[in-house]
Structure 1
Amino acid sequence: MFGLIRWTSGILQITARVCSFALLLMVFVQLSVVLLRYVFDSGFLWLQESVVYLHVCSALFGIGYTLYKDAHVRVDIFYRRASRPLKVIVNLVGLAVFVLPFCIALWITSWPFVAASWSALEGSNQPSGIQAVFLLKSGLLAASFLTMVGAVALALKQRARIVEPTCVSK
Structure 2
Amino acid sequence: REHRTGSARSEGYYPISRREKARYLHPCPAPRHDPDAPDTQGPNRVLSERRSEQRRLLSAIGSAAPPDGDLLKLNQLKFRKKRLRFGRSRIHEWGLFAMEPIAADEMVIEYVGQNVRQVVADMREKRYVQEGIGSSYLFRVDHDTIIDATKCGNLARFIN
TM-score bracket for this pair, using the shorter chain length: under 0.3
Determine which structure has the larger strand proportion and give its number.
2
Which is richer in helix?
1
TM-score if structure 1 supplies the norm length? Answer: 0.26
TM-score when scaled to structure 2? Answer: 0.27
Give the greater-gyration-radius structure (CA).
2
